[in-house]
Amino acid sequence: MARRAHVYPQVDPGARGVVDVALAGARPTARVGEALRLARKYQAGVMALDRSTLVLREDLSRASALGLDDLPAAALARPLPRVDGRASEISVRRRLAEGAPCVVVEERSKPIGAVSRGVLGPGGGATLSMAARVGRLPERVRSALAAVGAVAGALGARAFLVGGLVRDLWLAAPIARHDLDIVVEGDGLAVARALALALGGSVVEHARFLTASVEGRAWGRVDVATARSERYEVPGALPRVMPATIGQDLRRRDFAVNAMAIELVSDGLGLLDPHGGRGDIARGRLRILHPLSFVEDPTRILRAARYAARFGWGQDAWTARAQALALGLVPYGALSGQRILAELERIVAEPSAPAALVRLGGTGAFRLLDARYRFTRRTRGRIGELPRAWAWARARGLGLAGVELALVALLGEQPPEVALTALRRLAVTGDPLQRLARALEGSRAGTGWLLEAAPRSEQARRLRDRSPVELGWLWLAGDGAARARLDWFVADARDARSVLDGEELIALGVPRGPQVARVLGELRDRRLDGLAADRATAADYVRGWVSTRKEG
């Protein structure tokens, strides 16, 4: 007769029993350098400045690497979950699975240590299948993803879909673009080459950044990157990259909602969400992954405003404090103006652009352009009018660059030296700089001259040499009467011509050369004023002009 198996109860060591991170104390007023020295001395992963202010050693190390040893350590405090030492291990695991970098364990409300994510094991917690959501993608996109997984698997690598598409798949909202950003644990460049061969596409490699782009007519573009970690050595500068694991790669990203990945090698298409991106989506919030995220890359401030406006999300309080900290450290000499301008162009391309620009203005983000920048109520109002101005310019074929008009709206109320410094900070040079400088100069002159009583030919002359951005600004800043005159100019006067051509003028006696252009201009102006609207009247004027010159 078989013996009954013995059932042994599971032993829960409790939160205290799984503590694996030491905690030490420092003065509440300690600076980064001092707190980091103490953390190293006591081999502590968490520093307590007081009972409620806790700073991770990794954040102190990051700040020190950026040259911020004199920054108050308290500026790096994170909102870490806390549990009593008698709480169950399961409660600790749950908080870690929700994205916490560690869980602080307390006794009698006093921190005694912390539990790291290592308790979750190598996989970092359970994954959720995304097969059903991926199945809603177009067939060509699914085929490309399947090819990526197969190629990576054949090379002994692991491939993951990352970026905005993962976020949008979880949102289950309509997806306008299907950008395929792939991260490979292994040799990403080798996977990109094999993918191009398998799909019959071309590949462009960027070995310095461990990235490549594969292009194919049937499935578009796939960006492939080796999983990497980043090290920032100067605030705002581009980082140094090193091969790493997918976990380290997700840890370097901007927001938790963008730090999710879908593994592609297995049929399960499991979702990796180590930082709690799903929870943030459910709460409608943007949350950074560490307190110096905006300091390392200030363009994330602009990205945050774009995402917040697009999805109607807000920042959590800690992220807002981290953004204020970063803006308090301006200027960022290593931050290129081209990167700022590129983010502004992405904002302007979105339907929610005004909301994003107003959000940036309200938080003081345009101090990235010049520390003296001040966001005014009038600027806020003009930003709100930008969509109508862009639509007006588009409908009339002006060829207006939307970001140029946005810059004039943002800088039009600033002192001239601040506006010019901001344009130079954005690395605007040559013809674009001249156009914007003229538009800004015109913005200070106002629009009253548009309404002055003058012949229509004179009004047209005043507007004819103005660029599309200047015309757009005049429409944006003008009232109904000014906009009506602009409509007349663009529709009837901008491309107005003489009813006679140059050869006809020569036949009537106008000498070849600059005199022909002069008379053509005069005929055009007379036509605008209603004095030479037909060919016969125009010819009479030319004969009189020729006769006068002969008599002279």
3 state DSSP class of 129: strand
Q: What Å distances lie between residue 220 and 175, 368, 450, CA to CA?
A: 16, 35, 49
**Lowest-pLDDT range of 78-87, 93-102, 123-132, 479-488:** 123-132
CATH number, domain of 72, equals 3.10.580.10
For the chain, the average pLDDT equals 92
Task: Say whether both 268 and 140 belong to one domain.
Answer: yes
For residues 273 and 283, what is the distance between their CA atoms, to the nearest angstrom? 15
Dist CA 394 CA 391 (whole Å) = 5
HEC string for 285-353: EECECCCCHHHHCCHHHHHHHHHHHHHCCEECHHHHHHHHHHHCCCCCCCCCHHHHHHHHHHHHCCCCH
Decide which of 91, 120, 149 is a domain's last residue: 120
- Cβ-contact 210, 157 below 8 angstroms: no
pLDDT, tens digit, 9 for 90 and up, residues 471-526: 999 999 889 999 999 999 999 899 999 999 999 999 999 999 999 999 999 999 99
| Position 1 pLDDT exceeds 60 | no
Q: Which two tokens stand for residue 73?
A: 């350590």
Residues 69 and 142 placed together within one structural domain of the fold: no
Question: Does the residue 484 lie in any domain?
Answer: yes
CB 83 within 8 A of CB 15: yes
Compute the distance between CA of residue 347 and CA of residue 334 in angstroms, rounded to an integer: 22
Do residue 533 and residue 488 come from a single domain?
no
The amino acid present at 123, given as its one-letter code, is G
Q: Please list the residues that pair with 224 across neighbouring strands.
A: 182, 212
Are 145 and 274 found together in one domain?
A: yes
Q: What CATH number does the domain containing 461 carry?
A: 1.20.58
The mean pLDDT of 62-88, rounded to a whole number, is 96
Q: 257 vs 126, 217, 270, 271, 403, CA distance in Å?
A: 18, 31, 16, 12, 27
Distance CA 266, CA 159 (A): 10
Same domain (yes/no): 141, 279: yes
- Segments forming the whole domain that contains residue 100: 14-120
Q: In the predicted model, is pLDDT for residue 215 greater than 80?
A: yes
Asked, for residue 321, whether it belongs to a domain, the answer is: no
Q: How far is CA 229 from CA 179, 207, 251, 296, 430, in A?
A: 22, 15, 8, 13, 38
> pTM for the complete prediction?
0.90
pLDDT confidence band for 8 (50 / 70 / 90)? very low
301 inside domain: no
**Residues 193 and 101 reside in one and the same domain:** no
Number of structural domains in the chain: 4
Tell me the pLDDT band of 2, cut-offs 50, 70 and 90.
very low
Same domain? For 101 and 196 the reply is no
Q: What angle do CA 354, 356, 360 make, to 5 degrees?
A: 115
Q: What's the average model confidence in pLDDT over 329-335?
A: 95
